[in-house]
Structure formats: structure tokens, C-alpha cells
A and B are shown apart, each in its own frame.
Chain A
Amino acid sequence: MSMTLALASSLMILLQQHLTMFQMSLQNNFLVDDAPKIGSILNRILNQVDHYFVYGTKTDALNGANPVNTGGVAVRLFFRTPTGSFDQGIIVAEASGSKMLLNYYAYKNGQWPTNASWTISSHVSGVQFANSTGILLAQLTGPMGEQVTYAGASQ
């Protein structure tokens, strides 16, 4: 009887370990699944940019005031059009409820939209932009504290 109990216990422990392992692999998928997609989208956008400014807040980015070199949460982008004028957009990391969103705002008809034009990712827990080395760096932090840094305009 006691041996049967020991056998059953060991099999239960084995099952528990499998479940824990499965849960861990589900939680730690930011670097494997999300980060490369975010990096690819940022690279595609930033490769089209004529010039950009990094800002510490979304309000500063909207107003074009107080650009910074490090610790930025928003980047204002200027795209040159065939007529020589500029289209503009802003990439900003902002909280929405308990979530952090990496949003894109497209300047249309002479004004910025109230709501984001589209969301690049809702799986980040933090984004920091910097321009301290002469290239635009976007440091992404994942929900489990993962960190990876992509460079914009790398082509």
C-alpha cells in the first residue's frame, strides 16, 4: 500500500513539474515571439524617416518641445514627401489601464488624432528611446523583465 502511494506521489510530482515548465515557457515568450516583430516594424518605419526627435513625454512630442537624448518615451518622425513637404508621425510608449502600449499617431489634416492611429505592440512593459550615440535606439522591456535594444534606420 505504502509503495503504491509513493509511486502515485512521484508521478504527481512529475506531472506538476511538467505543468510548471509548460507555464514558464508560455510566460517567457517575449524575446522569442514579440521582440523580433516589434524590432522589424520599428525598423521598417524608421528606415523611411528623414529626421526625428526624441522626447521625454507624449505632450512634449505633440508640442515639439524639450527634445532629449536619453530616457525618451516618444519619437517624433518626419517623412519627406515627393513635393518636399513633410508627413509626421509619433511613436509613443503609453499606459492604457494596466497595460503598456507602443502606439503610433499619424498627423492628418493639420492635427494629431486623439486616439492612436494604430498599436505597434501591447506586449511591452516599457520602452525607452535614446539618441545618445548618434543612432536611434529603442530599448524594449518585456513583461518578465527581458530587455533587448534595436537600432532604427540601420539600413
Chain B
Amino acid sequence: MEVTAAFTVAMLIALVSLQGSLTVLTSRTWTVMQVLTDAYLSQETAMENRYPYEDLTGSNTLWPTWPDYWQSSVSLGKTGTNSGQIYGTIQRFKELQTPSANYTGAETYLLTSILTYQIGSATYVKTRMTLRTR
């Protein structure tokens, strides 16, 4: 009888500690993914700022005018030697912000990059936007 009670208590302790470990791992995975996605989006922001304006408005642009968009799978990084590359999907498009009948000749585009990534079975989205004017 005492042994059965002791085993039951031990099992309860094991279950509680397993729950604790899973909670820690889940929040850690979340934090790691935020770091990887924020780092990748620093590249997107830099590209949005540095991409030549001629290329931006050219026919092979990486930011087509909405509702067209450019899409690609991108590597976000690795969480360890034994882990494979972690991937996300990037979508890019631009929208003209200035009126087409604009006597100043100024032209402003809002460049948008949307990163879609997964944590477990859930899908998340982050965006970065930059205004470019000529």
C-alpha cells in the first residue's frame, strides 16, 4: 500500500516536472524564433533602403506593384549544429503613395516585406515597411 502511494507521488512529481520543462522549452523556442526573424528582417529593411530606385521601378523588380508580389523561401538561420536550416517565406510588394497626376514629379513608394514563419503548428507574420521617394 505504502509503495503504491510512493509510486503515485513519484509519478505526479514526474508529470509536474515534465509540464515545467515543456513550458520552458516552448517559451525558449518562441524567443529563439523572434531573434532569428528580427535578424532576417534587418536584412529586409537594409535592402528596402539600399535597393537602387531604377531597379525598384524596373520590370524585374524585387518589389512589384501590388496586387503583384514577389515571393521566395528564405533561410532564417540555425539553432544548433544538428539542426537544419530554419526557413520562412518572404513576400514583397510596393504601393504608389503619390497621386499619378502629380505636377511636382515626386514619386513615393511604400515598400512592404512580409515574413511568414512557423512555430510548432502555428503560423506567424512579421512586416517591415519603408518609404522610398524620388
Known pairs A7-B6, A31-B35, A32-B32; A135 contacts B80 (CB<8 A): no
8 A Cβ contacts from B17-72 to A: 17, 21, 24, 28, 31-32, 35-36, 38-40, 42-43, 45-47, 49-51
Number of interface residues of B (CB under 8 A): 32
B131 within 8 A of A: no
- Residues in B with CB closer than 8 Å to A114 are none
Contact partners of A71 in chain B: CB under 8 A: none
User: Is there contact, CB below 8 Å, between A11 and B10?
Assistant: yes
**A residues at B contact (CB < 8 Å):** 3-4, 7, 10-11, 14, 18, 21, 25, 28, 31-32, 35-36, 39, 43, 133-137, 144-155
16 A-B interface contacts by CB (under 8 A): A4-B3, A7-B10, A18-B17, A25-B28, A31-B36, A32-B31, A35-B39, A36-B38, A135-B43, A135-B46, A135-B50, A144-B80, A146-B77, A148-B77, A151-B46, A154-B42
Q: Which residues of B contact A (CB under 8 A)?
A: 3, 6-7, 10, 13-14, 17, 21, 24, 28, 31-32, 35-36, 38-40, 42-43, 45-47, 49-51, 77-83
